[in-house]
Amino acid sequence: MEKLQLHFGQAVDLLIEEKKYHEALVKIDSAPKVITREPKYALRRGVIHLNLKKYDEALSELKTYLTENPKNPLVLREIGIAYANKNMMDQATDHFSRASIEEPMNGMNHAWLAWALESKKEFSRARDEWKKAVEFLRSLQPSALSPR
**Under DSSP, is residue 143 helix (H, G, I), strand (E, B) or coil?**
helix
32-80, pLDDT tens digit by residue? 888 888 899 999 999 999 999 999 999 999 999 999 999 999 999 999 9
> Which one, of 93, 99, 128, lies nearest residue 113 by Cα?
93
Question: Could you give the CA distance from residue 123 to residue 72 in angstroms, rounded to a whole number?
Answer: 27
Question: Could you give the CA distance from residue 96 to residue 83 in angstroms, rounded to a whole number?
Answer: 10
The pTM for the full model equals 0.88
Q: Which ranges in 2-106 belong to alpha helices (H)?
A: 2-17, 21-30, 33-36, 39-51, 55-68, 73-85, 89-102
Question: Could you give the CA distance from residue 86 to residue 34 in angstroms, rounded to a whole number?
Answer: 33
pLDDT at 71: 96
- Residue 72's Cβ-side half-sphere holds a number of Cα atoms within 13 Å equal to 16
Q: What is the mean pLDDT of residues 86-99?
A: 98
Question: Could you give the CA distance from residue 28 to residue 31 in angstroms, rounded to a whole number?
Answer: 5
Q: Is the pLDDT of residue 147 over 60?
A: no
102-133, pLDDT tens digit by residue? 999 999 999 999 999 999 999 999 999 999 99
Contacts of 13 (CB under 8 A, 6+ apart): 44
